[in-house]
Structure 1
Amino acid sequence: MQNVALNCRHIVVFSESMLQFFKQLMSEDLGSVAETSLPPVSIIPQGISISSLQRDLHVEELGDADDEAPGHCGAYFVIVGRIRPVKNCCSVLEPFRQWKLEQCDEARLSQVQLLFVGDIEDSKYGEEFQARVQDMPDVHQLRGVGHRQALRIMHQSLGLINCSLSEGQSNSVLEAMSLGVPTIVSAVPGNTDLVKHLETGFVFGNDEQLIRCLSLVASEIKADQALVQSVTESAKLFVQRSHDIDAELKAYVELIEDCVR
């Protein structure tokens, strides 16, 4: 990484936390000369086109999310992304099972499903994942789903879960936030750059915290529903303000123009 960084004209990171992590790595490699020997570094957040999302979401020929989701799925939480180790998909299964057991007296919540949208990318991890879910009738996987269909499925879910071990700035998290879908994310830097617990989403660092997040997002208690509504509205505003696609494109154009001068 040191050689690559030293030979770059310019370096781009998504956030301040990534910038500090990069500087720490370079300081460990280069020592006191890191500040003077590295090229310029810019922070350019990941952008999404909210207008395009809304357009894709309402294309009439797409039909309902139920056309894509299993017919018996009903209410569900969704995880979007290819099945591979860094996505840590298996880690959600046991806390989800425990949460469902706690809801056995609640008719609506006892029927909630967990839906994985994405193909298997890592065959070994995929085998482990499939072995774990084959005896879990309330867990489903959808393969070969296009982006528009994934948006519809996400939009009609109870919430999006991101359980990754490592993240940059997840498109699916940004999309969910912009669409008013509650986001429940693992406490890793790429996620917590976007999601602040009880402000723009819900963050968990262990199984117990994930179970509490699931309970809060799915709750029918009015105070809980009001909190979730407030959080999702704040998330929408955050994405509009800080992750606009036009601002991202403008920043890259200016960066390229500067590099070729």
Structure 2
Amino acid sequence: MNILLISHLQKGSGNLHTIERIRTYLSDVHYKCTLTSPEEFSDEGDFKSYVKANSIKLIIGLHAFRSGKLLQDAKVNYILIIGGTDVNEDYRNQDKMTVMTQSVLSSRKIIVFSNGLRQKVQELWPEIPQNKIIEIKQGVQTCPSKFSLAGYIQKHHSDVYTTDMAICICVGSIRPVKNPLYLVEEFSKLHERRQNIIYVICGQVVDEEYGKSFRTKIDSLPGVIFIPGLPLTDAHAAIQQSFAYINCSNSEGMALAILEAMTLRVPVIVRDIDGNKDIVEHGVNGFVFSNPKQCIEHVEQLLLDKLLRDNTVQGASEYVQREHSVDSERNKYCDVVKSCVE
């Protein structure tokens, strides 16, 4: 049976890694899966022609607006996966909300990554039956390469390289919603006090206008380094070699990189937003901050207290193993698909 998977396919993004995992799960049980992007189609007519010509029997779309604008009038059963920015940001735009409402109401099933996203969907569309919404937590797979983060810094930023560097890393696309500049001034001040503390921001620039102002700001701050994107396995290696993983987004659905850092036994320090608090319990499996100064306080706390660091890392590892199993994710997606094609 032919299944079409639709997602924004930005290189290095969490959405891409998620939809690729789902494709693998379904291909392994002999569904014929095709992965494409909403940007591949000029309009809804072009999309409908593709679906008909390729005998697509089921569609899985990630993101209620980006994929939803093609799916809202689809004549084929489809499953809609809530991405995060759709229900956290896009709903404020009335035109986008109209599209999302149609796509959500017409879907066969709606998949969310967390209870927090389930609640958000129910707030926005209270008429949706509860049994139509299915929670499937992200499964986590890591595969660090032999990439050397210290070697990269020594080669490209020798002015800040030391043999005892403590690197705090933030991995994510460079765009306003990820707010990569949120902590840079405080980390630069910390670097002035502690020369071995380096803040690395790693990600692809996806908003060129924002990227220009981002680069200008980064270039002016000692101790802050920008790496313009890495392959997934190198990104995993960079996280694994870091002292702490930082998330400073304005909003998140479920940040896969936080879960990857937990799996790689790196402490996570995350911004106080709903998507992050769905997975990080302060002081148990990570740390939550409400402002830049709090973030720096948590970094310095970890520098001084090895037992706290070890206990938090262990708590995070146990949490991921318990709640974010790849086997569980695989089984749930296969069950949902089966229920939609029977």
Q: TM-score, normalised on structure 2?
A: 0.65
Query: 1:110, 1:175 → 2: CA distance?
Result: 27
Query: Could you tell me which residue of structure 2 aligns to residue 96 of structure 1?
Result: 187
Query: Could you tell me which residue of structure 2 aligns to residue 161 of structure 1?
Result: 246
Asked if 1:170 is matched to 2:272, the reply is: no
Q: Give the stretch that moved more between structures: 175-184 or 38-47.
A: 38-47
User: Deviation at 1:70?
Assistant: 4.0
Query: 2:229, 2:341 → 1: CA distance?
Result: 40
Task: Check conservation: 1:69, 1:153, Cα contact below 8 A.
Answer: no
Asked if 1:201 is matched to 2:293, the reply is: no
1:68-107 → structure 2 map (5 Å cutoff): 68-71=152-155, 72=158, 73=161, 74-101=165-192, 104=193
Residues 156-211 of structure 1: CA deviation (Å, up to 9, x unaligned): 11111110111111121111001110111111111111111111101111122112
Query: 2:251, 2:195 → 1: CA distance?
Result: 31
User: Deviation at 1:118?
Assistant: 1.4
User: Deviation at 1:98?
Assistant: 3.3
Segments of 5+ residues of structure 2 without an aligned counterpart are: 1-99
Structure 1 residue aligned with 2:325, among 233, 244, 258? 244
Query: 2:154, 2:230 → 1: CA distance?
Result: 13
Residues 100-126 of structure 1: CA deviation (Å, up to 9, x unaligned): 34xx2xxxx322111111121111111
User: Deviation at 1:245?
Assistant: 1.1
Query: Could you tell me which residue of structure 1 aligns to residue 272 of structure 2?
Result: 187
Q: Secondary structure of 2:177's partner?
A: helix
Query: 1:146, 1:156 → 2: CA distance?
Result: 15
1:114-153 → structure 2 map (5 Å cutoff): 114-153=199-238
Task: Check conservation: 2:186, 2:293, Cα contact below 8 A.
Answer: yes
Q: Quickly say closer, same or farther: Cα 1:144–1:16, change in 2 above 3 A.
A: closer
Query: Could you tell me which residue of structure 2 aligns to residue 234 of structure 1?
Result: 315
Q: Secondary structure of 2:270's partner?
A: strand
Q: Secondary structure of 1:68's partner?
A: helix
Task: Check conservation: 2:147, 2:238, Cα contact below 8 A.
Answer: no
User: Deviation at 1:75?
Assistant: 2.6
Query: In structure 1, what residue type is equivalent to 2:286?
Result: G
Task: Check conservation: 1:75, 1:111, Cα contact below 8 A.
Answer: yes
Q: Quickly say closer, same or farther: Cα 1:206–1:144, change in 2 above 3 A.
A: closer
Query: In structure 1, what residue type is equivalent to 2:105?
Result: L
Q: Secondary structure of 1:199's partner?
A: coil
Q: How many residue pairs end up in the alignment?
A: 236
Query: Could you tell me which residue of structure 2 aligns to residue 40 of structure 1?
Result: 132
Higher-helix-fraction structure: 1
Higher-strand-fraction structure: 2
Query: Could you tell me which residue of structure 1 aligns to residue 148 of structure 2?
Result: 64
Query: In structure 2, what residue type is equivalent to 1:206?
Result: N
Q: Secondary structure of 1:89's partner?
A: coil
Query: Could you tell me which residue of structure 2 aligns to residue 31 of structure 1?
Result: none
Query: Could you tell me which residue of structure 2 aligns to residue 258 of structure 1?
Result: 339
Query: In structure 2, what residue type is equivalent to 1:64?
Result: S
User: Percent identity over the alignment?
Assistant: 31
Task: Check conservation: 2:190, 2:197, Cα contact below 8 A.
Answer: no
Task: Check conservation: 1:69, 1:142, Cα contact below 8 A.
Answer: no
**Moved beyond 4 Å, runs of 4+:** none
Residues 5-57 of structure 1: CA deviation (Å, up to 9, x unaligned): 11010111111111111111113xxxxxx155x771111001112xxx2xx32
Segments of 5+ residues of structure 1 without an aligned counterpart are: 28-33
User: Deviation at 1:63?
Assistant: 4.9
User: Deviation at 1:227?
Assistant: 0.9
Query: 1:122, 1:181 → 2: CA distance?
Result: 29
Query: In structure 2, what residue type is equivalent to 1:75?
Result: A
Query: 1:225, 1:45 → 2: CA distance?
Result: 30
Query: Could you tell me which residue of structure 1 aligns to residue 113 of structure 2?
Result: 14
